[in-house]
Amino acid sequence: MDIDLELLSIQNPWWRQLGTGERLIKSLDFDPVIKSFASQPLKWKPKILSELDLGRDNTYVLYGGRGLGKTTILKLLIKKLVIEKKTEPDNIFYYSCHNLDTYEELNELVKIFLNWRRTETDKRLFIFIDEISLIKNWPKGFYYLAKAKKLKKVTVVLASSRWEKFSNKAENLPTRDKIIASLDFAEFVRLFNPKLSAKVNKNNYKNYQDQLEYYLDIYFLTGGFLPCLNSFQKEGMISQNIYNDYFYSLTADIAKLGRDVILLRQILEQVILNLGQPLGYKTIAHRTKAKIHLTIAEYLEILESMFVIKMVYQSDSKGKPTSRKAKKIYFIDPFLFWLFYSHINGSLDYWQTSRERLHRQDVFNALVENVVFSHLVKNGNGGGKERLTYWRDNIRKQEISFLVHQGKKIMPVLLHYGREIEDKDLKIFKQAGFGQGIIISRERMENKDNIKILPLTYFLLFHKELLK
């Protein structure tokens, strides 16, 4: 592909028209991404918009699954630079990698921009690259640029839909990584009912519990994906197109990696059928067309890197995660649960299926556990396998749903939503070697023997404070 400034200007229409010195546009509001953001009834501006230091030679990587607004964040950052910071538009470069194949091509177009601007200015330049994960070994390109001292007085912000591990020395690019997550329940309530969100606190929670239960039902159906929330706000449902678009994007990404989309479906079916239950690679391999368990491990790791699922490891006797025992697998967000649940059940109307099945006992119990999991993961920004584990005594047939690891401190969390809590449930913590813990109930709220019994909505609203 021949690359020149004219080609790059297609994705950067705020630049001067080449040869005329005039602006093609006067405002960024024309941009379809910004225009779409402005037209949505629900607008959520993540904290990251104010957390990035764009005045230094930083290279940020925004990691997050598809549909979580990474492109919108990049465009809003560009608008902020132009409108608020009065940055020269020519000094801002944006590019989406959907038509690139190699890091050499990426390097070439970045150098064209840098060489052009450095002949005219010594001011800070800004590079925004979208869908960087489409480029194999992409850190090499920016490593070589940095080594050639091309990134002096340059701020780089990259967006990636996949978390990857790079081992080569040339790929050890110093970056500041940020995780873009879907909205948790507290953020969801703040978006849908700001007045209610502002009123509720730990002391008056009981006064608003019924209202919060109403919003929890909606959250269980929509999850925390903004396209889903805006669709629900406008139409009272999630459009089938939203489900289809996400599923198409995922399968397209899997196909680009040379993986079998039929096997993908079979694996996701096993995850759905065994949600929250210990599940081994060999078990999944036996129930699918995969020949060996290593293939299953590879597919699950890819799905995890794409922020679709996350595996929770069982802790050994010393509290360390062990890969030898069966893992529990969850979806990162309730929307993804319903997407794959409806798909494997052959539904033609995913929203209708989710409405009909939400309060079926087995589905609802699995969803409750998945939502608690997704909040524990968000609390730690994803973390590694050491961040969240579970405890199980196979002899006594006892289990603690989650162990939240924070340094040397471990907080055990036990789910008993919809079930009567008995004294034997409190004893599990001591039997597992813990002097404290949290039990999540439906309505019960009390402290007993250093164990906090908390309603689900209370825990979801205040989980960050509770786990400190």
Please check the confidence at residue 25 and state whether its pLDDT lies above 60. no
Mean pLDDT of all residues in 310-332: 86
Closest CA to 175 of 136, 129, 114: 129
Position 2 scores a pLDDT of 60
- Rounded to 10 deg, the angle between the 293-305 and 261-273 helix axes is 90
Of 33-37, 184-188, 287-291, least confident by mean pLDDT is 33-37
Burial zone of 263 (CB within 10 Å; 0-12 exposed, 13-18 middle, 19+ buried): middle
User: How confident is residue 393, by pLDDT bands cut at 50, 70 and 90?
Assistant: confident
SS3 422: coil
Give the containing element (helix H, strand E) for 265: helix 261-273
For 181-206, b/e burial (b = at least 16 CB within 10 A) is bbbbbbbbbbbbbeeebeebeeeebe
- C-beta neighbour count of 457 within 10 angstroms: 26
Mean pLDDT of all residues in 187-195: 96
Closest CA to 159 of 225, 74, 93, 79: 74
Q: How many residues does the chain have?
A: 468
Residue 147: phi and psi, rounded to 5, are: -65, -35
Please check the confidence at residue 219 and state whether its pLDDT lies above 50. yes
**What single letter denotes the amino acid at residue 81?**
L
pLDDT digits (tens, 9 = 90+) for 37-75: 989 999 888 889 999 999 999 999 999 999 999 999 999
Burial zone of 70 (CB within 10 Å; 0-12 exposed, 13-18 middle, 19+ buried): buried
Mean pLDDT of all residues in 201-216: 96
Position 382 scores a pLDDT of 46
What's the CA gap between 423 and 119, in Å, rounded?
Answer: 75
Tell me which DSSP letter residue 82 carries: I
Say if residues 286 and 296 touch (Cβ distance below 8 Å): no
pLDDT digits (tens, 9 = 90+) for 61-118: 999 999 999 999 999 999 999 989 999 999 999 999 988 889 999 999 999 999 999 9
SS3 96: strand
Position 172 scores a pLDDT of 65
Mean pLDDT of all residues in 191-212: 96
pLDDT digits (tens, 9 = 90+) for 424-443: 888 899 888 898 999 999 88
Say if residues 337 and 367 touch (Cβ distance below 8 Å): yes
Tokens of 364: 């609802």
N- to C-terminal Cα separation, the chain: 52
Q: Where are the domains of the chain?
A: 5-179, 185-466
Closest CA to 70 of 129, 121, 16: 129
Please check the confidence at residue 383 and state whether its pLDDT lies above 50. no
Position 45 scores a pLDDT of 84
- C-beta neighbour count of 158 within 10 angstroms: 26
Position 455 scores a pLDDT of 96
Please check the confidence at residue 205 and state whether its pLDDT lies above 50. yes
Residue 155 β-bridge partners: 126
Residue 128 β-bridge partners: 94, 157
Position 131 scores a pLDDT of 93
Contacts of 55 (CB under 8 A, 6+ apart): 124, 155
**Chain-wide mean pLDDT for the chain?**
90
Contacts of 126 (CB under 8 A, 6+ apart): 54, 78, 81, 87, 91, 92, 93, 154, 155, 157
Closest CA to 371 of 406, 316, 413: 413
Over the Cα atoms of the chain, what is R_g? Answer: 24
Residue 154 β-bridge partners: 125
Position 415 scores a pLDDT of 93
The class that CATH gives domain 5-179 is alpha beta
Mean pLDDT of all residues in 337-361: 95
Position 136 scores a pLDDT of 87
Position 109 scores a pLDDT of 93
User: How confident is residue 5, by pLDDT bands cut at 50, 70 and 90?
Assistant: confident
Q: How far is CA 97 from the centre of its chain?
A: 20
Residue 446 β-bridge partners: 453
Position 128 scores a pLDDT of 98
Sign of CA dihedral 405, 407, 410, 413: negative
What's the CA gap between 306 and 325, in Å, rounded?
Answer: 23
SS3 438: strand
Mean pLDDT of all residues in 365-384: 81
Position 41 scores a pLDDT of 94
Please check the confidence at residue 123 and state whether its pLDDT lies above 50. yes
Please check the confidence at residue 270 and state whether its pLDDT lies above 70. yes
